[in-house]
Structure 1
Amino acid sequence: MSGHDHSHERWKHDGVRVIKGDQLDPNTAQTPGMFRQAAINHARVGAQKIWAGTVAIEPNAKTGVHHHGALESVIYVVSGRARMRWGERLEYVAEAGPGDFIFVPPYVPHQEINADPDQPLQCVLVRSDNEAVVVNITDVEPVEAPEEVYWVDPIHTRPEG
């Protein structure tokens, strides 16, 4: 029975953690016009395989072209309008609004943009590793008019146009 009691005590300190929204850690990589805060990482909760946090992006702000190595990323749009450009020459573009999820596969060159000139963009970010991998790509010559690619799934189909 003492083994069970010991397990109970271990879970008390090493079990579920709640990170309050007003206790996020701004000590993370920053980009001009963007404010990132970590909620879940190794330093804060001992996470081994995931990073999660928030980003607030000022109107019309954008990142440089980059990728995140072998990491997978998920972006959940809380409020505002996100525009993603991706591809070797940022030839593809799609937008997402509140309640939408964006998936960025490993090694995909992309650029994150606040598509609204007047409102901040608020997002939740989740990455598949605790390490912050960002590979900046400086030699991309973006195409002038990116091809619009609709995010489709079995429920949502390409809009008729």
Structure 2
Amino acid sequence: MSPEHEEPLWKHDGVRVVPGDRLDPNTAQTPGMFRQAAIDHARVGAQKLWAGTVRIEPDAKTGVHHHGALESVIYVVSGHARMRWGERLEFVAEARAGDFIFIPPYVPHQEINADPDRPLECVLVRSDNEAVVVGITDVEPVEKPEAVHWVDPIHRHP
């Protein structure tokens, strides 16, 4: 077949639809949170993005951390999110269904489900495929994380 009659590469490597019931739970998991990947390099060939969902159980809290040079966006689908950030987690903001949260690079923060009775459901987008989580141990969180240490490929035991 001559080059002018070949199918364009984008016909098979163009737009991708990932059905919501086919997300990949083979991601780093932490106690009280359930993440699933929708868009990443392995699934669709994304070079600069990771997108997926996270379900945070009632009253669950992360430890203090940042994501290095990555930018993150969280869209709250349902529930009540509380974010703490700063050198001593001295700043706080609340978000509810329909709200977006932007987390700049290197900002120490803590994610919290502020509802004691209902899960927090979010869509998460990061500016790179690499899972970067840098735990910060010299900050005493205002809202203490769960007593269980995160141990998985991106969270190491303290």
Whole-angstrom distance in 1 between the partners of 2:57 and 2:116? 9
- Runs of 5+ in structure 1 lacking a partner? 145-161
Q: What residue in structure 2 maps to residue 125 of structure 1?
A: 124
| Cα distance, 1:99–1:5 mapped onto 2, change above 3 Å | farther
Whole-angstrom distance in 1 between the partners of 2:93 and 2:18? 32
1:70-85 to structure 2, matched below 5 A, reads 70-85=69-84
Whole-angstrom distance in 2 between the partners of 1:127 and 1:5? 38
The DSSP-based 3-state class of the residue aligned with 1:106 is: coil
Q: Does 1:110 align with 2:109?
A: yes
Q: Does 1:39 align with 2:5?
A: no
Q: What residue in structure 1 maps to residue 6 of structure 2?
A: 6
Partner deviation per Cα, 1:7-57 (whole Å, 9 max, x = no partner): 53x222101000011111111111100000000001111111000000000
Number of residue equivalences: 143
CA contact (8 A) 1:91 1:142 kept: no
Q: What residue in structure 1 maps to residue 63 of structure 2?
A: 64
RMSD: 1.6
- Runs of 5+ in structure 2 lacking a partner? 144-158
TM-score, with normalisation over the residues of structure 1?
0.84
Structure 2: which amino acid aligns with 1:35? F
Partner deviation per Cα, 1:96-134 (whole Å, 9 max, x = no partner): 000000000000000000000111000000000010000
Q: What residue in structure 2 maps to residue 88 of structure 1?
A: 87
Q: What residue in structure 2 maps to residue 51 of structure 1?
A: 50
| Cα distance, 1:106–1:4 mapped onto 2, change above 3 Å | farther
Structure 1 runs (4+) deviating above 2 angstroms are: 2-8
Whole-angstrom distance in 2 between the partners of 1:3 and 1:102? 47
Q: What residue in structure 2 maps to residue 97 of structure 1?
A: 96
Q: What residue in structure 1 maps to residue 156 of structure 2?
A: none
The DSSP-based 3-state class of the residue aligned with 1:76 is: strand
Whole-angstrom distance in 1 between the partners of 2:55 and 2:62? 12
The DSSP-based 3-state class of the residue aligned with 2:43 is: helix
The DSSP-based 3-state class of the residue aligned with 1:55 is: strand
CA contact (8 A) 1:96 1:102 kept: yes
The DSSP-based 3-state class of the residue aligned with 2:31 is: coil
Give 1:62 deviation, angstroms.
Answer: 0.9
Structure 1: which amino acid aligns with 2:6? H
TM-score, with normalisation over the residues of structure 2?
0.86
Work out the percentage of aligned pairs sharing the same amino acid: 85
